[in-house]
Structure 1
Amino acid sequence: MEKKMSSLVKKIKKYLPYLAGILIIINLIFFFYVNKKLAPSDEAIVKILTNDDSILPRVIERLDEIKRQNTEKKVSLHYEELVKNSDLFLGNKNGSEVIIEFFDYNCGYCKRSFSEIMDLILENKNVKIILKELPVLGESSILASKASIASKKQGKYFEFHQELMNFSGPITIEDIIKISEKLKINFEKLKNDMNSNETVILINENYRLAELIEVRGTPAFIIKNKLIPGAIGKNEMLSLLNK
């Protein structure tokens, strides 16, 4: 019984943010009909919403605002965890302006964002980009993330990351071997490190963090407790950092 109650409570909490929007609609209907003591039909509700084009956008805007506020609370709550493992990064290791990026090597928008990030760290020497490998696009993505993380053991993470971000098409083990040869990486050691518990734990930790703050896809950026889904440009990153 306790397990069932716990499950029910979780479901209720999940949908709480959307109740505000529902209440707005109910209040609007109540406002129009309470004095007439009429029970509104479906047609009447549609008429209310279509007669005032601003109602639905306001409801949607309010729902988005509630969702944004809830996400910011979650990011703030877990921020220390998000920045804790920051050994995989771009830019200034000790930079005080921090951006966290969740990404996948097979994600086209992530590749597009990479050039913007490189422009940013060249322009602003105080920025640190903490990289969260989040392979969500299949086995090829998992393979790429494992190889990239493992390359750090040989001091080649940035170079490997750059090669994968500039790579076109699904990444295979043959591609990993070629990149290793190009960067003069010991592939046998890389392969062992790819399958180490340390590598697997790090990727699983990124999955856990992404779920906690409701990252739904890649890329996703965190800048000053704000979660920004999707690709953004250098200027938008700078603007958010300066707010």
Structure 2
Amino acid sequence: MTQFPSFLSRLVAGGMLAALLASTTPFAAHAQGSSFTPAQRAEIVSIVRDALKTDPSILSDAVAALQSKASEQKAASALDVVRRNAPLFGDSSTDIVLGNPHGTLRVVEFYDPRCPYCRKMLGDLDTLIAATPDLRLVEKVIPILGPNSMLDAQAIMAAGQQNAYLTFQKALMTDTSAPGQDRIRRVAAQVGLDVDRLERDMKSAPVATALAKNVALARSIELDGTPTFLIGDREIIPGAVSLDELKAALARLKKSH
């Protein structure tokens, strides 16, 4: 790799190059209060341009730095929302609570029943719960993947009114047949639900209200996709995650208590 002046390395490491690339005016974000003279700034810009021509990987490093910074800021903002509205996220009379209802390790999962990654994690979550006596896991279903997600989410919430949320949720999310109302009726019958009541409850105000609240909470933290895990009020994990990563996150949460 071509060696560059040490101050250019510091620009990359410190995020100043990322700021340069993100700014419409060179070094606008750092010009005020900077010790650089206009001539020095011009020289730095020239060196940066030459460096990018010689080694384009510098550009990808700068973009990665920008993305990392943006992710950190977004996570910090989301966790601030969680801390200010803790009861809305951690306490619920409509969402299923898995594990220990009085557990000190509090985790919230936002999931979509049509999300393939959420489906794959069902077994991992069972393993995690069995291995973690202090885990209290609140599962918030959110229909974000279209009309079939809405149908499945309504059905899962409606099954809760027959005290069968978890049984029906697992049966529905592991069923591989084509989505739709016929599938919902068939799965509901298989697990022993009153199918006609389920269909009525799917359209009820309590189900609509519960789903609307979950979606509003997801929007309040600018959730990008499912699954998304809130590890207490200290960490947010967006997207698919391994069982080992979840265990490590819980270990960090336990250590913080």
Alignment TM-score, normalising by the size of structure 2: 0.76
The secondary structure found in structure 1 opposite 2:37 is: helix
Equivalence for 1:12:
none
Match of 1:240 among 243, 249, 254: 249
How far is 1:29 from its partner? 8.1
Contact kept, 8 Å, 2:78 with 2:220, in 1: the verdict is no
- Aligned AA (2:152): A
How far is 1:235 from its partner? 1.9
Match of 1:140 among 141, 148, 151: 148
How far is 1:49 from its partner? 5.2
Deviation string, structure 1 residues 136-177 (Cα, Å, up to 9, x no partner): 111111111111111111111110011122122542111111
The secondary structure found in structure 2 opposite 1:218 is: coil
Does residue 46 in structure 1 map to residue 49 in structure 2?
A: yes
CA spacing shift, 1:213–1:28, aligned 2, 3 Å:
closer
* Count of aligned pairs: 226
How far is 1:37 from its partner? 6.1
The secondary structure found in structure 2 opposite 1:150 is: helix
Gap runs ≥5 in structure 2: 1-17, 253-257
How far is 1:227 from its partner? 1.6
CA spacing shift, 1:59–1:197, aligned 2, 3 Å:
closer
How far is 1:205 from its partner? 0.6
Contact kept, 8 Å, 2:177 with 2:183, in 1: the verdict is no
Equivalence for 1:228:
237
The secondary structure found in structure 2 opposite 1:105 is: coil
- Aligned AA (1:235): D
Equivalence for 1:78:
85
Equivalence for 2:200:
192
- Worse-superposed segment, 175-184 or 32-41: 32-41
- Aligned AA (2:58): D
The secondary structure found in structure 1 opposite 2:224 is: coil
CA spacing shift, 1:49–1:176, aligned 2, 3 Å:
same
Equivalence for 2:185:
177
CA spacing shift, 1:61–1:151, aligned 2, 3 Å:
closer
Does residue 156 in structure 1 map to residue 164 in structure 2?
A: yes
Match of 1:218 among 212, 219, 226: 226
Equivalence for 2:37:
34
Gap runs ≥5 in structure 1: 1-20
The secondary structure found in structure 2 opposite 1:85 is: coil
Alignment RMSD, CA only? Answer: 3.2
- Worse-superposed segment, 147-156 or 27-36: 27-36
How far is 1:72 from its partner? 2.1
- Worse-superposed segment, 98-107 or 82-91: 82-91
How far is 1:45 from its partner? 5.1
How far is 1:53 from its partner? 2.9
Deviation string, structure 1 residues 58-93 (Cα, Å, up to 9, x no partner): 444333333332222222222221123154122222
RCO higher in structure (CA 8 A, sep ≥6): 1
Identical aligned residues as a percent: 24
- Aligned AA (1:233): S
Alignment TM-score, normalising by the size of structure 1: 0.80
